[in-house]
Amino acid sequence: MYVLKFGGSSVASADNIRKVAEIVQASEASQVVVVVSALGGMTNELLALGTKAADGDENYKGHLDELRERHLNVVKSLLPITGQSSSLSMVMQHFNELEDIAESIFRLREFSLVTKDRILAFGETLSSKIIAAYFASLSLSYRWLDARNIILTNSKFTNAKVHMEPTMENISKTIAEFKEKIILVPGFIASNKKGQTTTLGRGGSDYTAALFAAAVNATRLEIWTDVSGMMTADPRWVSGAKIITHISFKEAMELSHFGAKVIYPPTIIPAMNAGIPILIKNTFEPEAAGTLIDNEPTTHELDQDIVTGISSMTEIALLSIEGSGMVGVPGTSKTLFETLAAAQINVILITQSSSEHSICVAVDVADVEAAKEALDISFQSEISSGKIEPIKIERSLSIVALVGDKMKSHPGISGKMFSVLGRNGINVRAIAQGSSEKNISAVISFEDVKKAINVLHEAFFEKVYKQLNLFIIGVGNVGSRLLAQLKQQREYLLHNLNIQLRIAGLANSRKMVFSDNGGVSLDHWESALQEGHKYDLHHFTQTVLEKNVRNAVVVDVTANAAVAGTYKKFLEKSIAVVACNKIACSSTYEDYMQLKTLSKAFNAPFFFETNVGAGLPVIGTLNDLLRSGDEVLKIQAVLSGTLNFVFNKYDATESFEQVVRTAQKDGYTEPDPRLDLGGTDVMRKILILARESGFELNMADIKNTPFLPASCFEGSVEDFYGQLKVHEQHFKKLYEDAAAQNRKLKYVATFEPGKASVGLEAVSPESDFYHLYGKDNIVLFYTKRYPDQPLVIKGAGAGADVTASGVFADLIKTVY
Ligand code: ADP
Ligand code: ASP
Ligand code: MG
């Protein structure tokens, strides 16, 4: 046997009731108990009606007419005309009775709990009788059962407690006598010993259903509602809430305790004790799998999901008792809880400060006055003697709770919860962690509850992408290759590293463009830049600072000194800097140190791996050696891709000038090739390596023996090429002298503590430098750990693609 319960929304209209009948007919069980709620919203309407009458408001009559109309209309649209009359008169009859009661309330101005239950019972009675008539019209085999004759309770009207034994017995005996396929039962209502109508508390139809399920030992209990299951948060507030396909009884109970009202907390108890699985299903999407609740541990979508769900209770109030008189005096909390229990007030949450100076309890707003009154009496003498301050009430509060069995074995969940709330400016009034550690709850202001649930849901359930906001200056050889690589890897980064790239700004020496939304398009950046503003470095810098976006990185792919001069401003604002521009790190030692210090102080990454050896992992390796305690003894290196290319290619057949021109055309040289050929570029690199090794060094400390005749350094780049032509014989001789001794020309940089030098050397075949082809670079690190056989890094040390990929790697490193 199955028990199916249909909530208010499922029976709110004739159309919905038709869906209910279809679901019941489609059930595979041979016999089903169908428990129904009142038409959606009716319980609240009936309460409002009674309150109006009790307040002496004549409008209760109009209200009553509306409710009557609503029921009559459902009958009219649900049943065939020929079969309507008996149901219409049934509805009229009930409303006549209801009218009499309402009139008495109006006259007496009294709406006692006993009367409340009389009135509320009309909701479920009417809905179940209308549905019965519909079943009859479909010729279904059914029997209507009055729950009041079956479910016996105490006399705690509006929230009655069930006498389990006689109730269970009544249910099983009665059902055993029935042969019909469907047993239709109004939910929520019951009666006491005297035969007076009682109700089981709001949401109590679930409880009725669970009692039936337990008594008949049903195979399962199905709760049909308007959502496709229990979700990670209330779907009305969190659009990304996800269905929990399978949850343990205990966790479901915890979630519903803190407001996930898709099921009513005590509902679970009879079903749980009897081990009956509960299935939450959607009347409006019956094919959806729904949520299974049983004894097995919750199935998490991902193993790393620690939290099962987030619930919230919107309208609560906080009562605080505080005072020095409480410290070390046992019994204060005993009195407190006994008082509240005697006043039948449900305590939702309790927190006590460790100093025992204060206790806070959260209660439903509807109970707060009664609670304060009871406590004022109990603590009368303590309050008047000043040991305890008058009891304080705070309203307009809400509770948000994280629920999950797995939380107890995972430290840091509450830390994350409160830092997420804090970061979003949500003030926490009180915190409680259930002793079972199945929930962590926070009392916050009612105004913050929506934001709180959403940010918590985002933090614990949604895949969070880290947006990397790039401001790129320079779109020459390296810059444009970088943009092409970013475009190519965009999807990979998103799916594999959860990094969302955004080009927040882009500039070259003529134009600049910024984009607030999706960023400058990686497909059309050229035209976007074309249409941008006139480039102005000061304006660019200010804009980056003002935008104040998260995870910002300024990427300098220029060789420009003015751009290098801006890093300080960015680092000071915690904006990361990635540079292939070497100027900053090879300027004065003080400037270099200032940038390193700012980077540390403001937690802003400053990476420049491509300053030495393009994409080769030279600086990163050096940093790793030092971090792990190694010390540099000597560095020897061939660090100029340009010079290597030139001397590998030059064999006096083609002119030296032509070879240098090719190097420039192929993108190996600095914009002014003299920086390469004159040794400045290599000096900068060895200087940076020395500094990164922990030594204070300046350009002036490096000995440079130039191989270019002095006249080459005069005038423009074209003048320089002219001078190369003039001095062809000089270069030819250098080559031929070396070749005669079976040696090759290499431009070598050396650093040892205290001295550094750069210059052209003719190396013999035994040298590590001899077999170095194309534009390769090589670095030999002699360190304490590598004293004789150096650590060697060798590979392509120039070229736009490898340099761009080195910059790319640095960019990604800023995220971690
Ligand atoms: P019924 O009328 O079927 O008894 P309820 O309105 O009592 O339905 O409960 C269903 C509602 O519970 C859903 O429409 C949803 O808005 C709300 N709800 C709150 N928290 C959750 C949650 N965690 N998962 C699913 N529904 C939730
Ligand atoms: N009609 C009652 C209520 O709205 C019981 C129920 O629907 O579960 O609380
Ligand atoms: Mg409900």
- Check: CB of residue 202 under 8 Å from CB of residue 43: yes
Please report where in the chains the tokens 């994350």 appear, as a residue. 416
Given a cut of 70, is residue 436 above it in pLDDT?
no
User: What is the tens place of the pLDDT at every residue in 130-175?
Assistant: 999 999 999 999 999 999 999 999 999 999 999 999 999 999 999 9
Residue 517: which pLDDT band, with cuts at 50, 70 and 90?
confident
Interval between CA 44 and ligand 2 midpoint (Å): 9
User: What is the tens place of the pLDDT at every residue in 324-359?
Assistant: 777 666 778 888 889 999 988 888 888 876 566 788
Q: For position 533, what pLDDT does the model report? A: 95
Residue 798: which pLDDT band, with cuts at 50, 70 and 90?
confident
CA-nearest residue for atom 8, ligand 2, is: 203
| Average pLDDT of the chain to the nearest whole number | 93
Strands (E), 611-727: 632-638, 702-705
Interval between CA 590 and ligand 2 midpoint (Å): 75
- Check: CB of residue 593 under 8 Å from CB of residue 664: no
Q: How far is CA 753 from the centre of its chain?
A: 50
Q: What is the pTM of this model?
A: 0.63
Q: For position 355, what pLDDT does the model report? A: 61
By C-alpha distance, which of 214, 246, 207 is closest to 230?
246
Q: Provide the β-strand partners of residue 184.
A: 34, 144
Distances (CA, A) of 484 to 520, 521, 523, 801, 804: 13, 11, 9, 10, 9
Evaluate whether 466-610 and 618-798 have a shared fold: no
Residues 6+ apart with CB under 8 A from 386: 323, 325
Mean pLDDT to the nearest integer, 604-632: 96
Out of 10, 42, 43, give the residue to mutate to test ligand 2, the one with the largest number of ligand atoms within 8 Å of its CB. Answer: 43
Q: For position 319, what pLDDT does the model report? A: 92
CA-nearest residue for atom 2, ligand 2, is: 203
| Atom of ligand 2 lying closest to residue 38 CA | 1
Q: For position 504, what pLDDT does the model report? A: 95
Dig out the tokens for 57 from the structure.
């408001």
Mean pLDDT to the nearest integer, 691-716: 95
Neighbours of 596 (CB within 10 A): 15
Neighbours of 665 (CB within 10 A): 9
| Atom of ligand 2 lying closest to residue 208 CA | 8
CA-nearest residue for atom 6, ligand 2, is: 203
Topology annotation, domain 618-798: Dihydrodipicolinate Reductase; domain 2 (3.30.360)
Residue range 309-456 in CATH 3.60.15.10? no
Interval between CA 83 and ligand 2 midpoint (Å): 28
Residue 4: nearest ligand to its CA?
A: 1
By C-alpha distance, which of 629, 607, 750 is closest to 689?
750
Q: For position 354, what pLDDT does the model report? A: 58
Amino acid at 15: D
User: What is the tens place of the pLDDT at every residue in 449-470?
Assistant: 988 998 899 888 877 677 789 9
Q: For position 147, what pLDDT does the model report? A: 97
By C-alpha distance, which of 615, 614, 638, 625 is closest to 782?
625
Mean pLDDT to the nearest integer, 767-781: 92
Mean pLDDT to the nearest integer, 626-649: 94
Out of 36, 37, 221, 268, give the residue to mutate to test ligand 2, the one with the largest number of ligand atoms within 8 Å of its CB. Answer: 37
Dig out the tokens for 810 from the structure.
């640095």
Topology annotation, domain 2-226: Carbamate kinase (3.40.1160)
Q: Provide the β-strand partners of residue 413.
A: none
Out of 127, 237, 251, 262, give the residue to mutate to test ligand 1, the one with the largest number of ligand atoms within 8 Å of its CB. Answer: 262
Interval between CA 657 and ligand 3 midpoint (Å): 87
| Atom of ligand 2 lying closest to residue 8 CA | 7
User: What is the tens place of the pLDDT at every residue in 112-142?
Assistant: 999 999 999 999 999 999 999 999 999 999 9
User: What is the tens place of the pLDDT at every residue in 69-125?
Assistant: 999 999 999 999 999 999 999 999 999 999 999 999 999 999 999 999 999 999 999
- Check: CB of residue 599 under 8 Å from CB of residue 741: no
| Atom of ligand 2 lying closest to residue 123 CA | 1
| Atom of ligand 1 lying closest to residue 10 CA | 3
Q: How far is CA 760 from the centre of its chain?
A: 57
CA pseudo-torsion sign 531, 536, 537, 542: negative
Interval between CA 691 and ligand 2 midpoint (Å): 75
- Check: CB of residue 545 under 8 Å from CB of residue 569: yes
Amino acid at 539: H
Q: Which of 306-315, 428-437, 528-537 has the lowest mean pLDDT?
A: 428-437
Residue 704: which pLDDT band, with cuts at 50, 70 and 90?
very high
CA gyration radius, the chain? 40
* Ligand 1 environment, Cβ below 6 A: 7-10, 37, 203, 225-227, 230-231, 233-236, 260-262, 309, 311
Given a cut of 90, is residue 610 above it in pLDDT?
yes
Any idea which residues carry the catalytic annotation? Answer: 685
CATH number of 466-610: 3.40.50.720
Residue 224: nearest ligand to its CA?
A: 1
DSSP 705: E
Out of 19, 34, 127, 225, give the residue to mutate to test ligand 1, the one with the largest number of ligand atoms within 8 Å of its CB. Answer: 225
Q: Where are the domains of the chain?
A: 2-226, 309-456, 466-610, 618-798
Residue 39: nearest ligand to its CA?
A: 2
Neighbours of 635 (CB within 10 A): 23
End-to-end CA distance of the chain: 56
Residue 266: which pLDDT band, with cuts at 50, 70 and 90?
confident
Mean pLDDT to the nearest integer, 750-774: 94
Given a cut of 90, is residue 407 above it in pLDDT?
no
| Atom of ligand 1 lying closest to residue 223 CA | 3
**Percentage of the chain lying above the pLDDT 70 cut:** 98
Interval between CA 44 and ligand 3 midpoint (Å): 13
**Percentage of the chain lying above the pLDDT 90 cut:** 77
* Ligand 2 environment, Cβ below 6 A: 7-8, 37-38, 43, 123, 187-188, 202-206
Interval between CA 264 and ligand 2 midpoint (Å): 10
Interval between CA 636 and ligand 2 midpoint (Å): 83
Residue 435: which pLDDT band, with cuts at 50, 70 and 90?
low
- Check: CB of residue 335 under 8 Å from CB of residue 375: no
Residue 261: nearest ligand to its CA?
A: 1
Cβ-based burial of 416 (10 A; exposed 0-12, middle 13-18, buried ≥19) = middle
User: What is the tens place of the pLDDT at every residue in 370-383?
Assistant: 999 999 999 998 89
Please report where in the chains the tokens 């749980």 appear, as a residue. 272
